[in-house]
Amino acid sequence: MKLALREKTDQTAKLLFRMTGLMVIAILADIFFMLLWNTVAFFLKVKPWDFISGTQWNPSGNPANYGILPLLVSTSLVTLGAMCIAIPLGIGTASFLSDYAGRKLKSVLKPTIEMLASIPSVAIGFLGIVVLGPGIARITGQSNGLNALNGAALLAIMSLPTIITVAQDALEGVPNAYKEASYSVGANRWQTLLQVTIPAASPGILAAVMLGVGRAMGETMTVLMATGNASAFPKGFFHSVRTMTATIAIEMGEVPYQTTHYYALFAIAAVLFLMTLLVNIVGEHFVNKYRKYQAA
Amino acid sequence: MSKTHIKLSATAAKLWFGNKQVLKSVNVAFPQNKITALIGPSGCGKSTLLRCFNRMHDLSADVMIEGDFLLEDQTLYNGKLSATEVRRRIGMVFQQANPFPKSIYDNINYGLQINNIPKDQRPGIIENALKESYIWDEVKDDLQKPATRLSGGQQQRLCIARAVALRPEVILMDEPCSALDPISTAKIEELILRLKKDYTIVIVTHNMQQAQRIADQTIFMYLGEIIESGNTKQIFKKPVNELTKNYVKGHFG
């Protein structure tokens, strides 16, 4: 009797976990198909090429314009700027933590950096409006500092914890034997780091950068608050931009259900999804390329 | 032995890992152009002593070293010599072959470039080092091949080539054959014997036969101290100390 009961519990548990597992996959598939469905609905009305290459985003105009090139450029600009700041800082910090910092300093720095990741994006956006924005405005002599540079700097801060943590793990994962070999031919720390440790850790560092890029491209709230959201075609880092994510967030709440505009927002999300996918594929390609020298 | 020129030596060498004393006042001298074998059971401090001579312990925290370490008459620590200079003049071959994850060519080129050897001289030096290490014939057709694709024995000979390319004065070898098969081991031993005419060699080994085959002088260590040192033949045939006798006869270790 007791044995039968235990068997039954086991069976039930197995069923339960199988269901939860399948449910997650089903939800993901649902999201994907919803995205695809709405995107297709949009492309039945607007040609994909017009959508991608159109230089004007004005869905409420007459006639309405659904060109996302300005949004694409905005997102790219902000992401590029963020990475220009975050990659050197991130790899530098990771190198310092893994090869230079003493044990005590490390035990303070590491949790502090990880804590940076837990700051809500709204708070960082707020920082952009009240601190960074006025600062940039003063330096550049503009009326306000809500522009691509502001967004890029904030996104850099937000992607730093990810980049640092992953890159540090990669650097610390480099076998000691490589470092010893380098020191044994008379290399100093800097030479060893630059020419042996970082190249050996490059797949991991690249993964770190890719995660950072993904984080920066998908981030919404911060850029929404800090970049000014002007829908004009972006002219550079010192001009207001409007990213893809911000556009979706701003307009989704107001758009009438199942209109062309509504479908268009889904199409933007699909393009964003494709971009992150591309970033990952490119990253994976380089990771494999470097692995060639590492297979024992 | 007494008239031979001493290349490398340590006097009253002591070393602690944290609170644990690993070397207890070691006095040792390595004569020029000779092969000296360091033998002793695991954990006796052979490798630790070896690594003192090219300042490899500098890299780990919690290590304290005392005593005088001399290359010729220059002190290795706290003297005019920098750690990088010491390591260039005293090369090392490790227990596990550790080529860089680069090509064969770049593995040797790395050290040359680090030490600012003019670019036009490098290809010649690399070829020469590979020839000296008896690996040239096996790799000459594809120097751009990743070094990690070589066999274990080839990798170890490449590591020796990497060391000799810099023309060090001393080569330290930390159980260079322990991960290799008998054929690769024989090749490396032959190589070590040939290198003797140009370099002073110190080799840590667990293999008694190896010590007898290649070493001129043998030093037996136990629990962080040198128990007995002398001519290899004497150490193996007529050891004075009871511990040495038991060890070389294989009663413990």
Q: Token pair of B50, please? A: 């070896």
Q: Residue A51: inside a domain, yes or no?
A: no
Q: In what order do the strands lie in the sheet with B6-17?
A: B20-31, B6-17, B63-71, B74-75
Q: Token pair of B197, please? A: 């005419």
Question: What are the φ/ψ torsions at residue A243 (nearest 5 degrees)?
Answer: -80, 170
What residues of B are in contact with residue A105 (Cβ under 8 Å)? none
Average pLDDT across each block of 10 residues of chain A; the chain has 296 residues. List them in order: 88 95 96 94 92 90 89 94 96 93 90 91 93 92 90 94 91 90 93 93 89 90 91 88 94 90 94 89 74 52
In a mutagenesis test of the B interface, which of A104, A185, A293 is the best target, namely the one with the most B β-carbons within 10 Å? A185
Tell me what pLDDT residue A293 has: 53
What residues of A are in contact with residue B96 (Cβ under 8 Å)? 177
Q: Which helix H or strand E contains B156, and what residues bound it? A: helix B152-164
CB within 8 Å of B229: residues ≥ 6 apart: B28, B217, B218, B219, B220, B235
Closest residue to B94, CB basis, from A180, A199, A294: A180
Q: Residue A40: inside a domain, yes or no?
A: no
- CA angle at B45 for the pair B39 and B49, rounded to the nearest 5°: 90
Residue B238 exposed, middle or buried by CB count within 10 Å (0-12, 13-18, 19+): exposed
- B209 to chain A, closest Cα gap in Å: 27
- A255 to chain B, closest Cα gap in Å: 55
- Interface touch B146/A292, C-beta < 8 Å: yes
Tell me what pLDDT residue B110 has: 95
Q: Look at residues B16, B162, B51, B30 and name the one whose alpha carbon lies nearest to residue B97.
A: B162
CATH fold for domain B6-101+151-248: Rossmann fold (3.40.50)
**8-state DSSP, B23:** E
Tell me what pLDDT residue A203 has: 86
- A180 to chain B, closest Cα gap in Å: 8
Instruction: Give me the interface pTM, i.e. the ipTM.
Output: 0.89
- B241 to chain A, closest Cα gap in Å: 35
Of all residues in chain A, the one with the smallest CA distance to B102 is A293
Q: In what order do the strands lie in the sheet with B90-93?
A: B90-93, B170-174, B200-204, B35-39, B217-222, B225-231
Q: What is the C-alpha to C-alpha distance for residues A86 and A159, in angstroms, rounded to an integer?
A: 7
In a mutagenesis test of the B interface, which of A184, A198, A288 is the best target, namely the one with the most B β-carbons within 10 Å? A184
- Residue owning tokens 């590979």: B130
Q: Residue A110: inside a domain, yes or no?
A: yes
Q: Which residues of B177-198 are buried (b: 16+ CB within 10 A; e: fewer)?
A: beebeeebbebbbebbeebeee
Q: Residue A77: inside a domain, yes or no?
A: yes
Q: Residue A189: inside a domain, yes or no?
A: yes
Q: A171 near A252, Cβ under 8 Å?
A: no
- Residue owning tokens 């548990």: A13
- Residue owning tokens 């268009």: A264
Give the residues of chain B that fall short of pLDDT 50.
1-2
The SS3 call for residue B44 is: coil
Q: Which of residues 102-121 of B touch A (CB under 8 A)?
A: 102-103, 110-111, 114-115
Q: What is the C-alpha to C-alpha distance for residues B143 and B123, in angstroms, rounded to an integer?
A: 11
What residues of A are in contact with residue B56 (Cβ under 8 Å)? 180, 183-184
Q: How many CB pairs below 8 A link A and B?
A: 79
What residues of B are in contact with residue A187 (Cβ under 8 Å)? 84, 110-111, 114
Q: What is the C-alpha to C-alpha distance for residues B96 and B102, in angstroms, rounded to an integer?
A: 17
Instruction: Give me the torsion for CA of A90, A93, A98, A101, rounded to 10°.
Output: -170
What residues of A are in contact with residue B114 (Cβ under 8 Å)? 182, 185-187, 191, 195
Instruction: Give the domain extent around A246.
Output: 58-291
Domains of chain B: which residue ranges? 6-101+151-248
- Interface touch B100/A181, C-beta < 8 Å: yes
How is chain A classified by DSSP, letter by letter?
-HHHHHHHHHHHHHHHHHHHHHHHHHHHHHHHHHHHHHHHHHHTTS-HHHHHH-S-EETTSSS-EE--HHHHHHHHHHHHHHHHHHHHHHHHHHHIIIII--HHHHHHHHHHHHHHTTS-HHHHHHHIIIIIHHHHHHHHT-S---SHHHHHHHHHHHHHHHHHHHHHHHHHTS-HHHHHHHHHTT--HHHHIIIIIHHHTHHHHHHHHHHHHHHHHH--HHHHHHSB---SPP-STTS-B--HHHHHHHHHTTSPTTSHHHHHHHHHHHHHHHHHHHHHHHHHHHHHHHHTTT--
Q: Residue A19: inside a domain, yes or no?
A: no
- B110 to chain A, closest Cα gap in Å: 8
Q: Residue A17: inside a domain, yes or no?
A: no
Give this prediction's pTM: 0.82
- Residue owning tokens 């649902």: A30
CB within 8 Å of A143: residues ≥ 6 apart: A137
- Interface touch B146/A293, C-beta < 8 Å: yes
Q: In chain A, how many domains are there?
A: 1
Question: pLDDT tens digits for B214-230?
Answer: 999 999 999 999 999 99
Cα–Cα distances in angstroms (integers) from residue B125 to residues A144, B54, B57, B100, in the given order: 62, 23, 29, 18
Q: Residue A81: inside a domain, yes or no?
A: yes
Closest residue to A184, CB basis, from B92, B99, B149: B92
Of all residues in chain A, the one with the smallest CA distance to B82 is A186
- Interface touch A180/B59, C-beta < 8 Å: yes
